[in-house]
Amino acid sequence: MGKEYSMPEEYKLNYMKRYFKLHRIFYVVLLSIVIICKVLNLSPEPTTLAYYIISIILCGVMDEYFLWRQFAVPKAFFSVRAFLGILLLSAGSIFGPPHPVEYFPFLLFCLLMVFEDMILNDVFDDFGIFVRRVLYLLFIEISLVFCLRNIFTGVWMIMDILLGAVIVGVVYCMFHGFVDGIRLYENKATRIQFDYLNLEEERNKLLVYQDRVEQVNSEINYQKINLVKANRDLENKNEEVRALIDVMKYFTTNFDVPRNAAHMLENIMDLKDPAACGIYLAEDVYLNPDPYCEIYTSHDSYRSSLVRDMFSIYEKVRIRNSLEPLVLCDNNDFKEGVLSDTNASNAVAFPVFENEKIIGVMVVVSGNYDFFESGYSFYESCLVDFIAAVQSAKLYLQMKDMATKDGLTGVFNRAYFNEIYPSICASCIVNEKSLSVALLDIDKFKSINDTYGHLAGDEVIRMVASVDQKYAKKYDGYAVRYGGEEFLLILQGKTVEEFRSILEEVHKDIVDNIVNFEGEEIHVNASIGMSNYPEIADEIVDVLDQSDKAMYFSKEHGRGMIVIYGREEESLKKPKEKAGTQKKKDSVMDSVKTQKKTPGGQTA
């Protein structure tokens, strides 16, 4: 077997319909020729006429069948069709020799069918071409012999040989020209196919490379996004560190806890931009007598709710007794029943603690979703620094308190008074305020010590100091332990009569407060001298000395009186019943003193 060459499907499909349309034209021409020959009596045999007409119709039916099936028939059918068509058209010469006018169109049609067999057959091999060439020539030669024997008498064999040679040459050229063309086309198609496959392979490689490039680009973009996020996080961390450093610097230079708290809240508001931020400190955290609360908000709607709920939040944190942050609201989910009337999306309470004891709470509120996504470290770091500042401030205040306050009574001592009194006087002059000073001295204090003992005397001093402190705090003044049993009450912005009225209340409280010590009731009285600038003293520096002189005047003229400097005689005109009451108290004191004498005649 020789090498096979397969006809490309594309080549066949492009031309077969066109050739089958040409067949219809040939069939019509052949039928027309047969009929014309009959009409002209060129073909006298009716049998030959009928045979050719039937053969033409059978060939046309086969063509229409192939066309109807869209050529979806076995490949061998095309060769069978060609052999059958040539056989039918050639065999007619046996039954009756056709006229040359009839025969030569049939011969051309047979050659056409040979050519179509080459086109419509899908496989070309050397052996198949040889077999088909022999059969075609055999059938055509038979038809030539029978056709030409009646035309060329005597020499018909020579004519037959010559026509056969011509036909053989034509068929040979047709077959070999067509097969060579198919082979050439096949080679080119093969090269194109290989080139196409190579291009397809390269294309696939490029697609793979493109996918890898896109993947790398995606990874690079993802890394860029992560890098941008990391840079943003780093910038935020740097800002947080700078803010913490700023807070620490401020704390180290300031022992004022409210100012430190306000500075910390301002930094949080500036850096994190929450809707609200507030802090609550319980009493006595930094020697503060009352709780401290400070709130900063960017929306006034949060302030009232925080003010209302801040103590409740502190109680929840204190009872919870944990140093971990308490989530009040997590992305619009209110967990603790506070701040629910606000537009908060997130709220967290951070415990303020000292030695694991809850002493306060800081609350941060935001209307943004996932506000605390980056965590709580910044807020906790702020609180750690703030707690350290509170401890330092507390220690500083304690030391300052020890330096400025009297250890027994808690009021200012004389050393601190000597330090601040000039600035008090200067402030009154600058602000054009009056200055009122009262000097109190406990009457017969030595007798109290001698009668009840020094511990009882300390209780009496504490009682008088507490009354002094009460009115100093009430009127925003100063209470000072000036000496052993001497106290100062300093007020600003009061007239003489207003100050005298206040001192009468002070004196009444001292007299009414009976000191109970070890089952004994100790009645206390005090002599008070007062002065005022500018109503009494022309110079503010004279007010203290005038108060001292007025107090000694009270001591020398019966004790238990309030004496106004420069109006001493007016102070002596007291109601007789008041003087009688004082004498009665003094007699009781003398009686108790007598009862407390020891057997040796010495007082206890």
Q: Is the sign of the CA dihedral 233, 239, 245, 250 positive or negative? A: negative
Q: What is the pLDDT of residues 284-308, one digit of tens each?
A: 888 788 899 999 998 777 888 888 9
**Which pLDDT does position 593 carry in this prediction?**
44
Domains of the chain, by residue range, sit at 5-200, 254-403, 406-595
Residue 336 gets which letter from DSSP?
A: S
**Which pLDDT does position 398 carry in this prediction?**
78
Q: Judge if 254-403 and 406-595 fold alike in CATH terms.
A: no
Q: What is the pTM of this model?
A: 0.52
Mean pLDDT of the chain: 80
Percent pLDDT > 70 in the chain is: 72
**Which pLDDT does position 588 carry in this prediction?**
45
Where residue 601 falls among pLDDT bands split at 50, 70, 90? very low
| CB-CB neighbours of 496 under 10 Å | 18
CA dist 345 and 38 (Å) reads: 108
Q: What is the dihedral of CA 163, 166, 170, 176, to 10 degrees?
A: 120
CA dist 518 and 461 (Å) reads: 16
Query: Is residue 480 within 8 Å of residue 411, measured between CB atoms?
Result: yes
Q: What is the pLDDT of residues 176-203, one digit of tens each?
A: 666 677 677 778 878 888 888 888 889 8
CATH number of 406-595: 3.30.70.270
- Average pLDDT, integer, range 460-486: 93
Superfamily of domain 254-403: GAF domain (3.30.450.40)
* Beta strands 526-533 and 562-564, pairing class: parallel
Of 563 and 284, which is predicted with more confidence?
A: 563
| CB-CB neighbours of 507 under 10 Å | 20
Where residue 147 falls among pLDDT bands split at 50, 70, 90? low
Where residue 174 falls among pLDDT bands split at 50, 70, 90? low
